[in-house]
Amino acid sequence: MTTILNKDNSTWTGNERRVTKTNNIDASLMQVGLTIARYGLATIFIWVGILKFSLYEAKNIEPMVSNSPIFALAYQMMGINNLSSLLGVIEIIIGTMIALRMIAPRLSVLGGIGATISFLITLSFMFTTPGVWEPNYGPYALSALPGQFLAKDLVLLGVSIWITGEALNAIRFKKSPKLM
């Protein structure tokens, strides 16, 4: 269960409230981590979304989308530049919705769901993109590119699920964590 530091320095754990007076370092660290996770994820989505409008980024995603059953048809119909731009718009919207958590937690929930779907899709590229697995080093060895590049999305998937749950919790209990 997630513990959130409230404005009155109490911690919120699910449906119960417990006041801590002597040692708030654990709650403070959790709050700092949650803040960095949320706004770091929002920054990644917005930044990478903006980059999707460049030819460089479009060419970098081409091996993944061209081999993906999810994106192959869109790739063939739209071309890599248009598909990359469309993905960029979607990523910027997701990042913005995540960042709006303090003023619009319902939008942040939608952003978290979008991020979760996004990372599930990118993790699927590990099974469809040639060169992800390095056969010379054993059956489960990831290549540096694109394998290890895609593997980081497992952590980002976890962050996406966590911030979605936290935003849902905020809606349910009408609680906002302390801003750092």
Give 128-151 pLDDT, tens digit per residue.
988 888 777 776 777 777 878 888
User: What CA–CA distances, in Å, run from 24 to 29, 30, 35, 102, 118?
Assistant: 9, 10, 16, 22, 35
Note the pLDDT tens digit of each residue in 17-70: 554 444 578 888 888 999 999 999 999 999 999 999 999 999 999 999 999 999
Contacts of residue 88, Cβ cutoff 8 Å, sequence gap at least 6: 48, 49, 50, 51, 52, 53
Nearest to 75 by CA among 51, 59, 99, 95: 59
pTM: 0.80
